[in-house]
Amino acid sequence: MLCLFTKGGAQSAMATERGHVLDLRNETGINVAGLLQAQTGSTRSYGLSLDRFVLDADLAAEAVRGTVKLVRLQTGVMARVDAEGIVALECARCLNSYDQAFAMEFAEEYRQVVDVKTGVGLLPKPEEEVDEETSTIDENHELDLAEVLRQEILVALPMRPYCGAECPGPDVIESGDAGREDDRFATLARLLAEDGPAH
């Protein structure tokens, strides 16, 4: 028996047509030309694997692993993404850098703006709202998960990063604490003084 397995970008589109699960390896763009020519409800599945994914000027996710499922809609493609990974954050208490694990999932509709067969621009129906917030499939029939993925990972991160039970805690500066207490007493004293004459 002869089995041949081929790997590489050139084979991706063909393999997608046969319904194989493909890997998005260090890329977030997916060509959906084939899916757009399939019936509404058709699906494609991908494994997602990003070694490093930039979130912000000084923030990046690492070891992002997950799955992407695409569903052909009448007006475009729905992408369902389920992923986890880590982001190096600064602990709000001890200010040390630590690896924060995250997990998130989202579904985003990518609107079709160009007809896949003719390349002619599709106008949105009057009842449909399309603005710069709307995710779209570009004129090369590619959708890019990057921007929504970036936003969803940021939302999945804790508001107040905390390195965990081993956190050494903030360095307590004695004079600083005394200063805060002095302020409190000063405020209290002022309030008492203001209330004083009324009683």
Minimum distance from residue 88 beta carbon to Zn ion (Å): 13
Token representation of residue 142: 């590619």
The residue (of 91 and 137) whose beta carbon lies closer to Zn ion is 91
Minimum distance from residue 57 beta carbon to Zn ion (Å): 23
Minimum distance from residue 142 beta carbon to Zn ion (Å): 41
Give dist(CA 55, CA 106) in Å, integer. Answer: 16
Minimum distance from residue 101 beta carbon to Zn ion (Å): 15
Query: From the CA atom positions of the chain, what is the Rg in Å?
Result: 26
The residue (of 23 and 99) whose beta carbon lies closer to Zn ion is 99
Which residues sit opposite 24 in a β-bridge?
48
The residue (of 94 and 116) whose beta carbon lies closer to Zn ion is 94
The residue (of 22 and 94) whose beta carbon lies closer to Zn ion is 94
Exposed / middle / buried, residue 169 (Cβ in 10 Å: 0-12, 13-18, 19+)? exposed
Minimum distance from residue 95 beta carbon to Zn ion (Å): 7
The residue (of 129 and 171) whose beta carbon lies closer to Zn ion is 171
Minimum distance from residue 172 beta carbon to Zn ion (Å): 14
Sign of the CA dihedral running 31, 33, 36, 39: negative
The residue (of 81 and 163) whose beta carbon lies closer to Zn ion is 163
- Sequence-separated (6 or more) residues with CB below 8 Å from residue 47: 21, 22, 23, 24, 65, 66, 67, 68
Q: Alpha carbon of 8 to those of 13, 19, 67, 68, 141: distances in Å?
A: 10, 16, 19, 19, 20
Chain residues in the site for Zn ion (CB under 5 A):
91, 93-94, 163, 167
Contact of 64 with 50, CB cutoff 8 Å: yes
